[in-house]
Structure 1
Amino acid sequence: MNRRTFTTTLVALTAAVSLTGCGVGDSIVGLRDAPAERTDTAPLNVDGAEKVAARVLDAATAARGAAGAAAAKAQPAALAGAALSQAQAATKLGAVSASDPLQRASDPQVVAISRGSAWPRAILVGTLDQASRTQTLHVLMSSAAADPFKVHASVPMLPGTSVPAMGDLATGAPLVSATDKAGAPLSPAEALAAYAVGLNHPKPVPSKAVATTDAYATALRTSTAAQVKALGSLAYFSQRHAPVAKHTIAFRLADGGTVTFGQLTRRDVISTSPAAQSLTIPANYSKLVGKTTATNNIVIDSLESVVMVVPATGPATTVGADEQIVAGSAT
């Protein structure tokens, strides 16, 4: 598998509510104290956020489709974080799919804007690919005053999922640190870690606080079962997932929970048993690893981008997922 795209309806996308502009009244600069800076509102109005999103996503689409030296220059200028690492892996392998969420420009709809005037500042945007009816969530972030907005995450939503209410757009949704669980039973980091170990094979570690019944987890289990059955007694199959802590981004939901964007690493290992002298490597992986047979093991490394909803009550669920092969080896 290289990557999967799922179709769904983004139930949580709501009509944009514009902020009222601050007109120039009859006050004169220098005659009165400057008003205190507001920290309880979004730093951008909706019109401004939509213009930023359209510009940044257009640049990201062009960068995602670039190759060679053009990609090496354009991708870091438009992408960062999980989105950049995934794009660079796809470009390196020459595996950018036409169904990639950043391969088709789309009118962005602002879902949330981070609260306050401090940095980082972030915009949560939804887009719809009309051809596949795939909804995608994108996080655009500016890390500092001199840093332009870039796409930090871009993840297709899973079938039948939605994002709960984010609160009023004008007020903004607070950004949440990876270790902050105020208002939720789990912090973003804890939710991602529990989801990761819940996907492991052959010994997953289930958690009542994090569900693994979503379409992505189900597809992984189905694929794993088929792989194990095909290998029979000739080889052993294992799969390990682990979160990439530095790529965690979370927004506070209206109910006190979070919508959390994260990235996991995944390692698939097929090891020969004493009953097998060698394994034939499938054609779709032989080019990646540079061999057609393996006597000891086959290792495939992938990146998994996920979006999790951690509600104030009840188990966390995964509402978006995507994957990209990074590297492979065989011995």
Structure 2
Amino acid sequence: MTTPVVALLSALALTGCGVGNAVVGVHDAPAERTDVAPLNVDGATKVASRVLDAAVAARAAKGAEAGKAQGAILAGAALAQAQAATKLGTVAASDPLQKATDPQVVAVSKGKAWPRAILVGTLDEASKTQTLHVLLSKAPADPFKIHASVPMLAGTSVPAMGDLASGAPLVGADDKAGAPIAPSQALAAYAGGLAYPKPVANPAVGTKDAYANALRTSAAAQVKSLGKLAYFSQVHTPSEAFTLAFRLADGGTVTFGQLARRDVISTSKAAKELVIPAPYSKLVGKTKASRSLTITSLESVVMVVPAKGAATTVGADEQMVSATAQ
């Protein structure tokens, strides 16, 4: 028997100075404060506006020009997603970096050391979708680039991050500090909870958000379509290299991360072959597979890890990367 494969549903400057003793009108150099943000709101807003405008132009570029333009203004998870979208020609009209919008500064990293980060939000008036962007400068000579750009899920919010002038500390991927779990642990637990058909539940991380629900709905539809002719599995793997987090006012974190998802459909003994849907057959180069079809996607997520209670996902986006068949 030949079994059709249904298309997978898309889831959706405030520096103070210490004054030394005056000697004949000459003062000591001002002592640099490390307990404040390196940029004030106006400065951070100007940087964000410039970078986001440049990112819009980079996402609109094509071919070799796109690669150069994107690498100059994007990095980390944002660059990986942009490169995949450009390669496949699947940049959606609703992509948050497809048109310029006025940024609102949510937080600026604390202290004068590097890396330095700016967290901004934008609003797409047409869809009423809010997007969170992380701009990061890793060294004095490194310009700010967008490292993450993730649409927020409907009905979600980010808790207070403290005084903008004071800045919000950046948090290491493995730093638990005032939160129940570290950013990397939250992402790993979320990835485990999304697995199919055997999710691994973790009471410290919730998986009842809109994105997780959409994935479960998609998996159920896939399994129903395949019946006894094929098996479906889904594995999510977090990328530690792309983890970024800010400390919340309550001691928790708002964590940005990226997961790599592998959807695998494999034939059972009752099936002769898989019929590959058009969107994937173009990537694979054939319309049928005798053993399996594997689809790889990138999932950008934003999680809120409170000082008390379970972590929740407040933002998510996905981008298909590749498909292979055997």
Q: What TM-score does the superposition give when structure 2 sets the normalisation length?
A: 0.94
Correspondence 1:35-114 to 2 at 5 A: 35-114=30-109
| Residue 144 of structure 2: aligned partner | 149
How far has the Cα of 1:4 moved from its partner? Answer: 5.2
In the alignment, structure 1 residue 262 sits paired with structure 2 residue 221: no
Structure 2 Cα separation of the partners of residues 237 and 321 of structure 1: 23
- Identify which of 186, 191, 202 aligns with 2:197: 202
What does residue 163 of structure 2 align with?
168
- The amino acid of 1:130's aligned partner reads E
Unaligned runs of 5+ in 2: 1-7
1:300 corresponds, among 281, 295, 302, to 295
- Give 1:20 shift: 8.8
Q: Following the alignment from structure 1 to structure 2, what is the Cα–Cα distance between the partners of residues 2 and 74?
A: 31
Q: Deviations over 1:148-192 (max 9, x none)?
A: 000000000001100000000000000000000000000000000
- The CA distance in 1 between the partners of 2:190 and 2:69, in whole Å, is 33
- Is contact 1:211–1:317 with CA below 8 Å preserved after alignment? yes
- Cα shift at 1:21: 9.0
User: 1:326 maps to which residue?
Assistant: 321
- How big is each residue's C-alpha offset from its partner over 1:14-45, in whole Å with a ceiling of 9 and x where there is no partner? xxxx95999xxxx9998111121111000001
Counterpart residue type for residue 120 of structure 2: V
Q: Is the 8 A contact 2:15 2:33 kept in 1?
A: no
Query: Structure 2 counterpart of 1:128, which letter?
Result: L
Q: 1:159 to 1:37 in 2, by over 3 A?
A: same
The answer for the alignment partner of 1:186 in structure 2 is 181
Superposed CA offset, 1:201-223 (max 9, x none): 01100110000000000000000
Superposition deviation, residue 290 in structure 1: 1.2
Tell me how far apart the structure 1 counterparts of residues 201 and 58 of structure 2 sit (CA, whole Å): 39
2:129 to 128, 134, 153: 134
The alpha-carbon deviation at position 256 of structure 1 amounts to: 0.1
Amino acid at match of 1:36: A
> Once the 2 structures are TM-superposed, how far is the Cα of residue 2 of structure 1 from its aligned partner?
8.0
**Gap change, CA 1:21 and 1:34, over 3 Å in 2:** closer
1:274 matched to 2:266: no
Residue in 2 aligned with 1:252?
Answer: 247
Q: What's the CA shift for 1:70? A: 1.1
CA distance in 1, matches of 2:84, 2:25: 54
Equivalent position to 1:124, from 94, 110, 119: 119
Distance 1:30 1:319, change over 3 A: farther
Counterpart check, 1:33 vs 2:28: yes
Instruction: Give the unaligned 5+ runs of structure 1.
Output: 6-17
TM-score, normalised relative to structure 1: 0.92
CA distance in 1, matches of 2:23, 2:233: 70
Letter in 2 for 1:219: A
C-alpha displacement of 1:140 = 0.3
Pick aligned residue for 2:310 from 293, 303, 315: 315
Decide whether aligned partners of structure 1 residues 132 and 28 sit closer, same or farther in structure 2, where only a CA change above 3 A counts.
farther
AA paired with 2:34?
T
Quickly say closer, same or farther: Cα 1:173–1:226, change in 2 above 3 A. same
1:212 equivalent in structure 2: 207
CA distance in 2, matches of 1:149, 1:267: 32
Contact 2:15–2:36 (CA<8 Å) still a contact in 1? no
SS in 1 for 2:197: coil
Task: Verify: 1:233 aligned to 2:228, yes or no.
Answer: yes
Counterpart Cα distance in 1 of 2:273 and 2:25: 82
Does the CA contact (< 8 Å) of 2:150 and 2:315 recur in 1? yes
Distance 2:212 2:69 in 1: 33
Partners of 1:328 and 1:21 lie apart in 2 by 55
CA contact (8 A) 2:16 2:32 kept: no
1:19–1:4: structure 2 CA closer, same or farther, 3 Å change rule? farther
Count matched residues: 315
The runs of 4+ residues in structure 1 deviating greater than 2 Å are 1-5, 18-22, 27-30
Alpha carbons of structure 1 residues 3 and 276: separation in structure 2 relative to 1, 3 Å: closer
Between the aligned partners of 1:3 and 1:269, the Cα distance in structure 2 is 15
Q: Determine if contact 1:241/1:266 at 8 Å carries over to the other structure.
A: yes
Q: Which residue of 1 aligns with 2:153?
A: 158
- Please state how far the C-alpha of 1:260 moved relative to its aligned partner: 0.1
Give 2:147's aligned amino acid: H
